[in-house]
Amino acid sequence: MAFGFIGTGSMGRNLIEAFIRSKKMRPSQILIHNRTRDKAEQLTRHFPGIRIMKNNRSLVAESNLFFLCIKPGEFRSVLDEIQDEVRREQIVVSITSPVMIRDLEEWLPAKIAKVIPSISHAVLSGNSLFIPGNRLTITDREELWDLFSGISQPVQIREEHARIASDLASCSPAFFAKLLEQWANAAVNETDIPKETAFILVNQMVQGLSRLLEEGDFTLQSLQERVAVPGGVTREGLHLLEQRVDPVFQELIRLTHTKYEKDIQKVQQSLNTPLHEKR
């Protein structure tokens, strides 16, 4: 079984490293190509056995399953390049949410899936968002599910929920890292606590919170109830957060959805521009 990766940027590299760490793939099974060769070479230095292909066409020709780990604006040129090499029996996995499965199925004869990953796969955790295309067989779906089960907990979603599910599963690590950074900085600015101490406390708190939710039989709601006793300082803090933070998250969702719709329109305009006769 040969696995190809077109694009070895941040998320492409994250997937490759996670699959190797989970032993779902061996380096010798992995073929890669990246527009910037240096990024590909960095991977081969870390994982001897990975092969750098001379172009995307040669990668597709030798792959049973390949991943499109590229930006939305790069899809037209890549699809133009590989279209004639793609085979019906191949599985193509896109990790780019604004590129619709129906558009990929128009361009490529292969079996298509969209699987949106998360940075948390680096520690073999988090959710991968699984959206199967119409051509996948039951066996194909099971094999993909098993593959991603090694690095995550897959969740099947409908494509129309890709944006909000991505907000919750894929973007949230960055969003909440920012909130925690601001929380620690506020503590430093409002008191004389050393910055190093504040960040140690916040980092350890996050690790403990994760274990409470995973191992301690807590839900988000029950944890709040346990900590925030009536009349206590935590309860007052929760009231403030409800008043101030709720509107921010609603605005955040509106922002990501607006950007997502614009990205979809740009991709579809690019793919429908008659510069190349599609099969």
Average pLDDT over residues 178-190: 97
Residue 272: what pLDDT? Answer: 86
Annotated binding site for NADPH: 56
The answer, yes or no, to whether residue 185 has pLDDT greater than 50, is: yes
Long-range contact pairs involving 132-140 (C-beta distance under 8 Å, separation at least 24): 132/156, 133/101, 133/104, 133/105, 134/101, 134/105, 135/105, 135/110, 135/111, 136/91, 136/111, 136/112, 137/111, 140/91, 140/111, 140/113
Domains of the chain are: 3-157 (3.40.50.720), 165-264 (1.10.3730.10)
pLDDT band at 146 (very low <50, low <70, confident <90, very high): very high
pLDDT band at 273 (very low <50, low <70, confident <90, very high): confident
Please identify which residue in the block is written with the tokens 């944890």. Answer: 223
Distance from the Cα of residue 137 to its chain's centroid: 24
Joined together, the tokens standing for residue 133 give 């295309």
Annotated binding site for NADP(+): 6-11
Cα 18 to Cα 92: distance, rounded to the nearest angstrom: 19
Based on DSSP, count helices (H) and strands (E) in the chain, helices before strands. 11, 8
pLDDT band at 276 (very low <50, low <70, confident <90, very high): very low
Cα 174 to Cα 168: distance, rounded to the nearest angstrom: 11
Annotated binding site: 6-11, 56
Average pLDDT over residues 200-225: 95
**Three-state secondary structure call for residue 278:** coil
Average pLDDT over residues 69-83: 96
Average pLDDT over residues 99-111: 97
Joined together, the tokens standing for residue 209 give 């919170």
